[in-house]
Amino acid sequence: MAAGSYRWVYDCGTSSGKHLVSNAIDRLRAISGGARLDLLTLSHFHNDHISGVVELLKKVGASTVMLPWAPLWYRLVIGFDQGMTAGDVEMLFYIDPVAYLEQSAGDGFDRVVFVMPSNDRGPPFLIDPTGPLTFPEEFEDRVKDEGPGEPASLDELEVSGGRWPSRVKTLRPGQSVPVFQGLWEFVPYNDPATQPADPHGFAAIVEGYRKDLLAGDDDVRDQALKDLRKHYEATFGRSVMNNVSLMLYGGAVGPWRQVRYSEKHYLQFRQVSCQSDRHAKNAKGAILLTGDGVLNAAKKWDDLEDYLDAKRVTRTAVFQVAHHGARANWYDGLAVRAVPRTSVFSSDPAHSYGHPHAEVLRDFWSFHPVQVDQHSGFSTHIVLDR
């Protein structure tokens, strides 16, 4: 692995054929040369974003798995809302994500980092990198790297911690993930406004079953899930929308004499690729991934921008349009607030959902919209010069 390399993935799943994810994982394993990912970030808990995670961890592995924290009762609501029952192995992910990953992926990861709700000021915008711009040999010695985050309270997180509780950490508001000794940074944003209302006291009911869910044997846990699903159906009635989505900003730290930016959009048909390139100098040097985040009002964007700092946002070269370009997660005028060089729509126009919706696509039309699906892809390269 080249000195100073850092490998990361944001989400790993599909609503199309499973072979698409498997093929992508195999390609990643081939080019990684046996090296693990440094960071795997899961935006939220929908199947089309996590269905390939276990396979990815088994075949490639990751030093850090980062995901948004949500309370136990809300995790159960998300699982139940997707039709999960006590008999589904994947239901354990919603009860106890750490235990599920250990049971399913074994030693395919080193630690789990929960990003707490971003209900405070974000990390300060740094004018200069925090360290020298050299990469000493020991930089690649990841064995001693304890990774991002700080020790966690398992009671606060409402997880068991699995076999190795010390592997569970938290990233508090205002904390980021520095890369290359502060040359690059990842800033996650867990929207604090996404927790749904609980008018029927479901959280209190779940609290009474917490021990059975996190520390009971399989039979005890299954019975607790059956009881709680009845309560869920009587209260929420399968009407809750999962709004949790961990957004992720990644960008260079400090001023740069020149930023060279290039991108490639390729279409695949019968194993033939048609490629087109775009290049730019003095361009922006950051990306902003939104998953299925809710950006359906100016205030939602204001809150995100306030947390990240406007100086970061204005550096965004690549913007992943939220929720596959769905109108429900967008408001008219969002594009001119984000002002990216390229707008990526990860969607399937042929799917019954109709993503991306026409009005969203029109809003981003002046910001180089790019479609990414099972037939087409997109890659970008940002080169920083001092």
pLDDT band at 355 (very low <50, low <70, confident <90, very high): confident
Q: Where are the domains of the chain?
A: 8-182+191-235, 256-385
| DSSP output for 195-256 | SPP-TT-HHHHHHTTHHHHHHS-HHHHHHHHHHHHHHHHHHTTT-------EEEEEEE-S--
Spatial separation of the C-alpha atoms in residues 103 and 116, rounded to whole Å: 24
User: pLDDT digits over 227-277, tens only?
Assistant: 999 999 888 765 555 578 899 999 988 777 777 778 888 776 545 567 777
More confident: 181 or 119: 119
Q: How large is the angle between the packed helices 218-235 and 72-81, nearest 10 degrees?
A: 80
Spatial separation of the C-alpha atoms in residues 57 and 334, rounded to whole Å: 35
pLDDT band at 133 (very low <50, low <70, confident <90, very high): low
Beta-strand pair 342-346/369-372: parallel
Q: In percent, how much of the chain has pLDDT > 70? A: 89
Angstrom distances, CA of residue 326 to CA of 349, 353, 359, 373:
11, 9, 9, 15
Lowest pLDDT segment from 19-33, 101-115, 136-150, 206-220: 136-150
Other C-beta atoms lying within 10 Å of the C-beta of residue 218? 9
Spatial separation of the C-alpha atoms in residues 159 and 171, rounded to whole Å: 15
The Cα diameter of the chain in Å comes to 62
Phi, psi at residue 91, to the nearest 5°?
-60, -25
Give residue 229's identity as a one-letter amino acid code: R
CA dihedral 132, 136, 141, 146 (to 10 degrees): -20
Lowest pLDDT segment from 49-53, 77-81, 343-347: 49-53
Spatial separation of the C-alpha atoms in residues 250 and 315, rounded to whole Å: 10
Joined together, the tokens standing for residue 365 give 């039309």
Phi, psi at residue 93, to the nearest 5°?
-60, -40
Compute the average pLDDT of residues 70-98: 91
Residue 295 exposure: Cα atoms within 13 Å on the Cβ side: 32
Q: Which residue has the tokens 């809150």?
A: 303
Q: Provide the pLDDT for residue 34.
A: 84
User: pLDDT digits over 40-72, tens only?
Assistant: 999 988 777 788 899 999 999 999 999 999 999
Q: In 243-338, which residue ranges form alpha helices assigned H by DSSP?
A: 298-308, 310-313, 334-338
Other C-beta atoms lying within 10 Å of the C-beta of residue 104? 17
Angstrom distances, CA of residue 364 to CA of 58, 302, 331, 349:
38, 18, 11, 16
Rg (CA), the chain: 21
Q: Are the C-beta atoms of residues 261 and 340 closer than 8 Å to each other?
A: no
State pTM to two decimals: 0.91
Residues 121-138: b if buried by 16+ CB within 10 A, e if exposed: ebbeeeeebeeeeeeeee
